[in-house]
């Protein structure tokens, strides 16, 4: 009984904290200094038609590198704990013919759409993370359709490492040749709206997309291949 | 008129998300709870789209309601096989 009362008091306290925050909240009438700078000068400076991408990759590129590193850490911890042992001796039940045929038809389209999303990240909504997740979902469809087949995990490891290294090298080249880490004026900005424009944003997003896709795929592959009695 | 419709849609989707969240917490079958948690993410991604944030909506739809559901199902199948 006392326990319940304490819990209720805790919930009421947290609720009061949120309520005071909410009661004083007023929507900002105008953009603050930094966001108005992004809105006015971002398009000219970065040359990306999708301003979100300009902020994510150029102005806040270091944060993106941190996010990708966190994802890498998660994937490696999962790979560490889910040690892939022997292949299961009893083959899993085959999936239905409908799923197999549909997956053969859909996989190339999903892969192509994922690549489209991260190559066009500087023009349309989307980017490396979204495209990488779509690539990984194509792999999941392949696993669902063919439960007894697997992909060699080293391909994900190699893709992931190469993309990460290239991402950092491009960032360091920005220090040497342009204004700072991950500066996108490394190569000419080009005209706004073209596929090859916005400096190095498309290049970075291609590598981020491959890195995220490889990381998420390796997580799923590790989960699929780990022996059944290995999760404690 | 259009803003009124958007607000109405947002309220409907928010209520639906709450219902799915309650199902995800209280349903006895774990598989249904996982699907409900994916549906919460789907509702959230529609809300992001209504709030003019398509980039966030894409991430939420792909990772929140796609990949994480699959990963939960993998984990669930491992736990079940261990129990048998």
Find tokens 């409907």 and name the residue: B12
Pick the residue of A133, A143, A227, A230 with the most B CBs within 10 A to test the interface with B by mutation.
A133
B71 and A117: CB-CB below 8 Å? Answer: no
Facing B74 at nearest CB: one of A125, A126, A224: A224
- Please report which helix (H) or strand (E) contains residue A12, including its range: helix A2-23
**Residue A140 touches partner B, C-beta closer than 8 Å:** yes
- Please report which helix (H) or strand (E) contains residue A62, including its range: helix A61-81
Every domain of chain A and the residues it spans: 48-229
pLDDT interval class at A10 (50, 70, 90):
very high
Cα dihedral sign for B68, B70, B76, B78? Answer: negative
pLDDT interval class at A232 (50, 70, 90):
very low
Measure the CA–CA gap between A10 and A105, rounded to whole angstroms: 54
As a whole number of Å, the end-to-end CA separation of chain B is 57
Measure the CA–CA gap between A172 and A142, rounded to whole angstroms: 37
The secondary structure of residue A55, as a DSSP letter, is: I
Tell me which chain B residue has its CA closest to the CA of residue A216: B67
At A88 the pLDDT is: 58
φ, ψ of residue A149 to 5 degrees: the values are -105, 155
At A193 the pLDDT is: 66
Q: Domain range holding B72?
A: 2-83
At B36 the pLDDT is: 92
At A87 the pLDDT is: 56
Higher pLDDT, A86 or A120: A120
B81 and A229: CB-CB below 8 Å? Answer: yes
B81 and A228: CB-CB below 8 Å? Answer: yes
At A118 the pLDDT is: 85
Q: Give chain B's domain count.
A: 1
SS3 category, A24: coil
pLDDT interval class at A25 (50, 70, 90):
confident
pLDDT interval class at A60 (50, 70, 90):
confident
Half-sphere exposure of residue A36, counting CA atoms within 13 Å on the CB side?
6
What's the average model confidence in pLDDT over A113-122? 86
pLDDT tens, residue by residue, B10-66: 899 999 999 999 999 998 888 899 999 999 999 999 999 888 888 888 888 888 888
Nearest to A47 by CA among A199, A202, A207: A199
d(CA B81, nearest CA chain A) in Å: 7
At A84 the pLDDT is: 60
pLDDT interval class at A12 (50, 70, 90):
very high
SS3 category, A1: coil
- CB contacts under 8 A, A 42-101 vs B, are 50, 52-53, 56
Higher pLDDT, A15 or A126: A15
Q: Taking 80 as the threshold, does the pLDDT of residue B72 lie above it? A: yes
Higher pLDDT, A187 or A13: A13
Q: At what angle do helices A128-145 and A97-119 cross, to 10 degrees?
A: 170
Q: Are A158 and A112 in contact (CB under 8 A)?
A: no
pTM: 0.79
d(CA B47, nearest CA chain A) in Å: 16
């Amino acid at each position: 009984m006392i326990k319940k009362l304490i819990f209720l008091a805790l919930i009421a306290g947290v609720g009061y904290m949120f309520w005071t925050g909410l009661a004083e909240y007023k929507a900002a009438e105008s953009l603050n200094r930094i966001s108005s700078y992004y809105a006015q000068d971002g398009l000219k400076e970065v040359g990306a038609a999708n301003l979100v991408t300009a902020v994510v990759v150029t102005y806040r590129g270091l944060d993106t590198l941190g996010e990708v590193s966190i994802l890498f850490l998660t994937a490696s911890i999962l790979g560490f704990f889910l040690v892939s042992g022997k292949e299961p001796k009893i083959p899993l039940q085959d999936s239905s013919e409908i799923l197999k045929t549909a997956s053969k038809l859909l996989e190339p389209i999903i892969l192509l759409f994922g690549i489209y999303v991260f190559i066009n990240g500087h023009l349309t909504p989307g980017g490396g993370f979204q495209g990488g997740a779509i690539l990984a979902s194509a792999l999941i469809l392949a696993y669902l359709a063919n439960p007894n087949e697997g992909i060699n995990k080293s391909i994900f490891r190699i893709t992931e490492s190469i993309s990460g290294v290239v991402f950092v090298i491009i960032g360091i080249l920005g220090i040497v040749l342009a204004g700072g880490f991950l500066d996108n004026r490394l190569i000419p900005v080009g005209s706004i709206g073209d596929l090859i424009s916005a400096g190095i944003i498309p290049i970075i997003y291609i590598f981020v997309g491959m890195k995220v896709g490889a990381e998420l795929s390796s997580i799923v592959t590790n989960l699929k291949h780990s022996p059944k009695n290995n999760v404690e | 008129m259009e803003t009124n419709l958007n607000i109405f849609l947002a309220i409907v989707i928010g209520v639906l998300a709450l219902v799915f969240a309650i199902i995800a917490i209280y349903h006895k079958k774990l598989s249904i709870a996982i699907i409900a948690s994916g549906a919460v993410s789907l509702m959230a991604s529609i809300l992001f789209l209504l709030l003019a944030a398509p980039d966030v909506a894409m991430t939420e739809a792909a990772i929140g309601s796609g990949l994480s559901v699959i990963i939960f199902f993998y984990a669930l199948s491992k736990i079940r096989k261990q129990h048998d």
